[in-house]
Every structure is written in structure tokens, then in C-alpha cells.
Amino acid sequence: MGRGAAARKYDLLTALGAHALSQDRTEQVLALRLMTLITARYNWGRDELAVGVREIARLWSVDERTVKREMAKLRARGWVELTRAGARGRVAEYALGIERLMQDTRPGWERVGPDFACRLDAGEADDKVVPLPIRGEVPPPDLSGGSEWALAQALLHAEEPGLYASWLRALTRDSRAGGRLVLAAPSRFHAAYVQTHLSARLLAACRDVDGGVSEVTVIAAG
């Protein structure tokens, strides 16, 4: 999972749990076993699950034959991927099949809530970001208006022009009430993505140019 793993792991477990609760007992047991294994032994930062058959059997309260059969099912579905086979004195290592897990659990996202579904959709888009042009190819923002948002955009452009070009250039100043600054995005998806993933960065930039800003909210234009 790499960067952002800590923020996303609960969404993945929620998606898997919601999926399981809509299925029959066999599917529920398989999902529960994977969720327990993920929670107990998965290294989110390195995308690594290194655990032996005997340890899994003890965790699941089953015999080793059952472990081998269930792990084979998980691999066949693409929910886990073998990255290094076990050998004498070394346990097998696995990675999570994040993309396949997302595909298979997608029908249950709306049952958790529209905000949850939108957040996971935004997360999938984030995982597929295409590299953007270098600094010299991204034009700076227009500062003629002199608003706190125009100045904050200039800071964001200077720090990370690719991110600015992809997500922040299209944001416009909608309104300001006290410390609350409202920005408008060109679509609902765009607004949800920025609010979920970039709100802290927006607030920091705005506060750098105007200490009176205490909150930044992103809405869909229109």
C-alpha cells in the first residue's frame, strides 16, 4: 500500500466486511479469515504478509490442511499474491491483491454509504495517476486578483506543479465567511477527491498566506 496505507486500511477492511455480510456462510468465513490475517500479520507499509502455515492454523483455529486449501482459494481469486515461495527455514511471503479486492467488493460500497463509495473511487483514481509535466511546463496562477486563494495557489504551484496542474488549478474561490473558505471544483468527483486527499495541504497553504483561514471546504460548482 505504501504512502497513505494507514488511512486506507480501514476502508479496505470495511469493504471486505460489507461484502462478506451479503454472502453465504462459506464466503463469510473465507473473508473473516483473510480479515483476521490482514489485521494480525499484514505489513501495510511494505505490502507484505510473511507468515507460516502453522501460525495461520493456530490463528484460524483449524488444521494445516485447511490453511493450505483456504490460501489456495484466496490466491485463485487474486485476493492474495505469492511473492516468494516458502523454503527450508523461510516462510512464504504474500502481497494483497488490492485491485482485485476492490473490484470484487465494489457492489457493497454503497451499502456502507455514498461518502464511502466516493472515497474509494477517488482512492482508485489516485493509484492510477499519470505522471504530469515538469515545473517549466505548468503555467503559474494569475495573481492579479490578490485573493488568499490566488496566493495559496502560487505556493502550491511552486511546491508541486504536477499536483497543482492535476487537481488544484481548476479550483475557484466560491465564498469566504469568517475563517471558512469555500472553493468550487468542476465536478462532484473532483471536489470529493480534493476534500478527501488534499484538504490538509490546502488549509496549510491558505494559512501561510492568511492566518485567518481556519477551514477550507471544497464543493462541486453549480
Q: CA–CA separation, 218 vs 193, rounded Å? A: 9
**C-beta of residue 134 within 8 angstroms of C-beta of residue 160:** no
Q: CA–CA separation, 217 vs 88, rounded Å? A: 55
> Lowest-pLDDT range, 126-130, 140-144, 180-184?
126-130
Centroid of chain to Cα 48: 17
**C-beta of residue 205 within 8 angstroms of C-beta of residue 155:** yes
- Render pLDDT for 183-222 as a digit per residue (tens, 0 to 9): 999 888 888 888 888 888 899 989 988 889 999 999 998 7
- Render pLDDT for 70-100 as a digit per residue (tens, 0 to 9): 998 999 888 998 888 877 778 889 998 888 8
Q: Which domains does the chain have, with CATH numbers?
A: 5-127 (1.10.10.10), 135-220 (3.30.300.180)
User: 173, 167, 163: which is closest to 143 by C-alpha?
Assistant: 173
Q: What is the residue whose three cell numbers read 498566506?
A: 209
User: 71, 75, 79: which is closest to 20 by C-alpha?
Assistant: 79
Backbone angles phi, psi at 12, to 5 degrees: -65, -45
C-alpha cell at 200: 490538509
Q: CA–CA separation, 67 vs 18, rounded Å? A: 23
Beta bridge mates, 215: 180
pTM (predicted TM-score)? 0.56
